[in-house]
Chain A
């Protein structure tokens, strides 16, 4: 191994540029504050990231299929508010499936508009971002939604429970990541998603029903959002109507940071998970450093750009590449 050549290293960097960037940040933050790398802190960051992460898993499918989903933040607020409200009227056993059904219906609507009516996904989901927010506010009348009996319900298990010392949100995130990772990489459906996003015309000629594939991607995204909403509701047992506001961009940032192309056709679940963790650890790391918070917005942006640049530069094999 001592004879690992420059080329081997270059090849590794090209494949895993984002992992190298991730490792660099971890080392940097640990030097700044040794408490960064304690098990308690790592568990708390991953648990906080789990909600964003679960949403990012679904959006990964949508992005690889060559579309966007900007509605996931509003949709998460919707799921959270609905499950909290139904909990006190129907009880948790009925509230959870009812909430999933309602959220999936929203996903199906988006999938129908983008897949079968061939409307631009940016426009459709940007519209749904405010439409679903309005729907949530209409549903709740603008009021904060809280569970009456916070200690007497098993709903808390999804957000606050632990199995063998590991918080349940992390387990849900990892289990879903493993499942969806297999679906994307190893099943015919997964290959269709890549084909539709990579070269739509070729996909059609290969007999792939593109509309149905896109429709299913949005349905998966909605299912992930509903899961995220469930974790969110369970974690705080109460919520504002704006709980998911702005998360659509964080989710998209995580997916892109993981290396998925906005043009579709590339990306993996594993890299999305890394993208999610990078975002989570940056936020936490800057907090632990005690950086003045106005500066945090700037530093977060700088780190994201740095990570994307390292990743791209590694793929291209050079740092300097002007548009030509």
Chain B
């Protein structure tokens, strides 16, 4: 068994990083990530995960990356089951398609921890715990940031806002929009959300959407973007049209560009979500599950509000 582990590990050597030292009580935890390198969040996540594992002498990790490919992720799940790791952490490439592989792991008595974005509900039975941000709460908090700002400006009874959401069909995009749209009428019942269009997590696409909004609506008081990357795209469009003044920009997942725009006073607020917290929470959840501790099924880590008022309490994001 030992030899087989070593062999299969060396076969996949290009994709593998093995950290930590083997010993009798060592927990062997495998992780298959979504797509490292596609953006800075995922790159930082991987670095933080490996660092956290190296810092813990009781943990040995097998780090894999699916490169955004569902088929490869399913194969990696099977590899990890073959290697008989103690627990598997998965960052799903697709919330539906990975369920059979997750079920297989669960049937092999290997607890599965889902990280960052959850799988679809029909797979919940096979999952030990989900560790990640609460996107609905993030959306709700963005609504509160927006509303509080309108109250400061005294326009909470007439403000009109537009929303630029993430890629259609993605859970994160849907949940943030849902959280925002549900919370806004509770805190600011007279603010109107006049239109929502997707920016596909893409700054350039978001800029085009905002250009169209600026043509279509003469009065825009606020823009809610599903992440700061898109928020900055919208800000660029408003800057080009000379209409930044008087528009409150609120995003989510504070990026370095968003943080800088806040420093310049052009961008109002966002949600601070650290990939380091995300990675450490995932590893800790796996350790807690293996140690037999009582872990909630939805094990959220906190993602606080950040605005121009309190931004000095936060370090500038590295991504």
Report which residue of B37, B38, B168, B195 has the largest number of chain A beta carbons within 10 angstroms of its beta carbon: B37
Cβ of B171 within 8 Å of any chain A Cβ, yes or no, is: no
Cβ of B14 within 8 Å of any chain A Cβ, yes or no, is: no
Cβ of B255 within 8 Å of any chain A Cβ, yes or no, is: yes
Cβ of B215 within 8 Å of any chain A Cβ, yes or no, is: yes
Cβ contacts A to B, 13 pairs, < 8 Å? A48-B208, A51-B204, A137-B38, A141-B37, A142-B37, A142-B39, A142-B42, A143-B319, A146-B256, A239-B203, A239-B204, A240-B229, A243-B203
* Chain A residues numbered 140-159 whose CB sits less than 8 Å from any CB in chain B: 141-144, 146
Closest beta carbon of chain A to B195's beta carbon, Å = 6
Cβ of A232 within 8 Å of any chain B Cβ, yes or no, is: yes
Given contact pairs A144-B319, A240-B203, A240-B229, A35 touches B40 in the complex (Cβ within 8 A):
no
Contact in complex: A40, B43 (CB < 8 Å): no
* Chain A residues numbered 265-298 whose CB sits less than 8 Å from any CB in chain B: 283-284, 287-288, 290, 293-294
Number of interface residues of A (CB under 8 A): 31
Contact in complex: B202, A240 (CB < 8 Å): yes
Cβ of A16 within 8 Å of any chain B Cβ, yes or no, is: no
- Encode contact with A along B306-319: 1 for CB under 8 Å, 0 otherwise: 00000000000001
A143 CA to B229 CA, complexed, in Å? 13
Contact in complex: B38, A241 (CB < 8 Å): yes
Closest beta carbon of chain B to A93's beta carbon, Å = 24
Contact in complex: A236, B204 (CB < 8 Å): yes
Contact in complex: A288, B256 (CB < 8 Å): no
Cβ of A30 within 8 Å of any chain B Cβ, yes or no, is: no
* Chain A residues numbered 237-265 whose CB sits less than 8 Å from any CB in chain B: 238-243
Residues of B within 8 Å of A236, CB to CB, are 203-204, 207, 233, 236
Q: A44-B211, A242-B39 are in contact. List 5 more A-B contacts (CB 8 A).
A: A142-B43, A144-B255, A235-B207, A241-B37, A243-B204
Residues of B within 8 Å of A235, CB to CB, are 204, 207, 236
Cβ of B299 within 8 Å of any chain A Cβ, yes or no, is: no
A contact face: mostly helix, strand, loop, or mixed: helix
Q: Nearest residue in A to B211 (C-beta to C-beta)? A: A44
Contact in complex: B198, A293 (CB < 8 Å): yes
Given contact pairs A146-B257, A242-B38, A293-B197, A287 touches B43 in the complex (Cβ within 8 A):
no
Residues of A within 8 Å of B255, CB to CB, are 144
Q: Nearest residue in A to B46 (C-beta to C-beta)? A: A142
Give the contacting residue for B256; candidates A41, A44, A51, A144; CB below 8 A.
A144
Contact in complex: B212, A144 (CB < 8 Å): no
Contact in complex: A144, B209 (CB < 8 Å): no
* Chain A residues numbered 284-322 whose CB sits less than 8 Å from any CB in chain B: 284, 287-288, 290, 293-294
Q: Nearest residue in B to A297 (C-beta to C-beta)? A: B168
A287 CA to B198 CA, complexed, in Å? 10
Contact in complex: B202, A142 (CB < 8 Å): no
Give the contacting residue for B215; candidates A40, A142, A146, A290; CB below 8 A.
A40
Q: Nearest residue in B to A44 (C-beta to C-beta)? A: B211
Contact in complex: B202, A33 (CB < 8 Å): no
Number of interface residues of B (CB under 8 A): 32
Residues of A within 8 Å of B209, CB to CB, are 287
Residues of B within 8 Å of A239, CB to CB, are 203-204
Residues of B within 8 Å of A242, CB to CB, are 38-39, 202
Contact in complex: A44, B207 (CB < 8 Å): no
Q: Nearest residue in A to B203 (C-beta to C-beta)? A: A236
Cβ of A38 within 8 Å of any chain B Cβ, yes or no, is: yes
A283 CA to B236 CA, complexed, in Å? 19
* Chain B residues numbered 106-133 whose CB sits less than 8 Å from any CB in chain A: none
Q: Nearest residue in A to B237 (C-beta to C-beta)? A: A44
- Encode contact with A along B26-39: 1 for CB under 8 Å, 0 otherwise: 00000000001111
Give the contacting residue for A238; candidates B43, B168, B203; CB below 8 A.
B203
Q: Nearest residue in A to B217 (C-beta to C-beta)? A: A35
Contact in complex: B204, A143 (CB < 8 Å): no
A165 CA to B240 CA, complexed, in Å? 13
A235 CA to B239 CA, complexed, in Å? 12
Cβ of B2 within 8 Å of any chain A Cβ, yes or no, is: no
Closest beta carbon of chain A to B167's beta carbon, Å = 11
Residues of B within 8 Å of A44, CB to CB, are 211-212, 215
A-B interface, 8 closest residue pairs, ranked by CB to CB distance from nearest: A142-B37, A142-B43, A287-B212, A143-B40, A137-B37, A41-B215, A44-B211, A48-B208
Q: Nearest residue in A to B42 (C-beta to C-beta)? A: A142
Residues of A within 8 Å of B168, CB to CB, are 293-294
A38 CA to B214 CA, complexed, in Å? 12
* Chain B residues numbered 269-319 whose CB sits less than 8 Å from any CB in chain A: 319
Residues of A within 8 Å of B4, CB to CB, are none
Residues of B within 8 Å of A293, CB to CB, are 168, 196-198
Contact in complex: B257, A288 (CB < 8 Å): no
Report which residue of A142, A235, A239 has the largest number of chain B beta carbons within 10 angstroms of its beta carbon: A142
Closest beta carbon of chain A to B225's beta carbon, Å = 14
Contact in complex: A144, B229 (CB < 8 Å): yes
A137 CA to B40 CA, complexed, in Å? 10
A144 CA to B38 CA, complexed, in Å? 9
Residues of A within 8 Å of B211, CB to CB, are 44, 48
Residues of A within 8 Å of B229, CB to CB, are 144, 240
* Chain B residues numbered 34-77 whose CB sits less than 8 Å from any CB in chain A: 36-40, 42-43
Residues of A within 8 Å of B42, CB to CB, are 142
- Encode contact with B along A1-45: 1 for CB under 8 Å, 0 otherwise: 000000000000000000000000000000001010010110010
Contact in complex: A288, B215 (CB < 8 Å): yes
